[in-house]
A and B are shown apart, each in its own frame.
Chain A
């Protein structure tokens, strides 16, 4: 499938093709539910505003006609698998979501034979809001190199003959890096001042599955209860660090942030550093050894010299 132009973001530009792909998705979901291969199919449906999409849990074969996939389907549904560990579940994944899925497989949080992965060839997702669909691709999609999921049992759509050339992925990170120290401090102070610590970023993140988050630990109290810059800094720094080498860049945290804090600047800084230091990218395979579970004796990494 070629990359989709973004003039008509809410559906595939080629309406017929869009319908055909939706049908492919629905047929597969129906088949899976009817033969009892899965208990539930997690996908997308049209939200009640009529333009954006929302997650949809299909339990009955009759409901599959509500399933859709188009350029408004922004959510990373992999997060929901963490609540469905004991039942076999099918999930619709985009390429970025497939990396999160690999992460959870790698970290033994979900079992491969309990998940049926319905991959979708992704045309890139557009910005959406309540009753609003923008014409432009989301920032993460403009940077994305991948249009076919890395792991799937069934693929909806045809993979493109060749992947588009990668965009400059870290231009905005480099911009912050280039600022003088005082300006960097001011920039991050401004961000952490606005944080209300609602933890939406954590709740939506497939990588954040600790049963007790450090932020809720009272002994020791890592993060004070006050909503103020020092506490917020602690939260933001450690949240990002705990996802270092694990974040797959689905950017859900930034999307759900009610204060519009540019969390991807933190996540991608770490992604960039992890690549430069350890030549590792998260979620490319379920079998790789994560960078902090291994080491090389001969490396010095500029430490203790």
Chain B
């Protein structure tokens, strides 16, 4: 691992749960690593797999997708569809040489500010352990 290496994480958060969860972490003054760059989207089902592949192509060390817990989607079933897509994308990325650990999907509700900070901390730690992604 490079000295002072700071992994870069792109976070795609759903507007209704995880973004609100991240917001709660902020208003509750819970700190978490600044390695994550958050992008707010309406739903985890809005996260096109192209966004994830593109993030990796542009140099992200890890990608986090976070949405409402299954059964709690604001649009009723967006996260169920997302789950199917990402399960498949994950194994494809691994096959292509991007470790499964670099692409995480977590369900975080609007009331789980603490959990959001834990997710980001543990993901950052995991990526720091893995080290930089080898440039293609």
| Residues of A in contact with B (beta carbons under 8 Å apart) | 176-177, 181-182, 184-185, 187-189, 192, 214, 222, 229-231, 233-234, 237-238, 240-241, 244-245, 266, 269-270, 273-274, 277-278, 291-292, 295, 297, 299-304
Contact = CB atoms under 8 A, between A and B. Distances in A.
B53 A237 contact: yes
B84 A295 contact: yes
Interface in B83-119: 83-93, 95-97, 99, 105-107
Contacts of B81: 292, 295
Interface residues of B, number: 31
Nearest to A301: B87
A244 B89 CA distance: 10
B89 A241 contact: yes
The 10 closest A-B pairs by CB, nearest first: A185-B97, A301-B87, A295-B80, A184-B97, A304-B107, A229-B136, A303-B83, A303-B105, A230-B57, A237-B53
14 contacts: A182-B97, A184-B97, A233-B96, A238-B50, A241-B49, A244-B88, A269-B91, A269-B92, A269-B95, A292-B84, A292-B85, A295-B77, A301-B84, A304-B83
Contacts of A229: 136
B134 A274 contact: no
Say what secondary structure dominates the interface of chain B. helix
Contacts of A302: 87, 90
Contact of B92 (A187, A214, A273, A300): A273
B47 to A, nearest CB: 12
Given A185-B97, A185-B136, A304-B83, 8 more contacts: A182-B134, A184-B97, A185-B96, A189-B136, A245-B88, A269-B91, A270-B92, A303-B90
Contact of A297 (B70, B86, B96): B70
Contact of B99 (A181, A188, A245, A291): A181
A177 B54 contact: no
Contacts of A297: 70-71, 80
Contacts of A295: 77, 80-81, 83-84
Contacts of B88: 241, 244-245, 270, 273-274, 277
Contact of A301 (B69, B83, B97, B106): B83
Contact of A185 (B57, B89, B91, B134): B134
A68 B24 CA distance: 70
Contacts of A278: 84
Contacts of A230: 57, 136
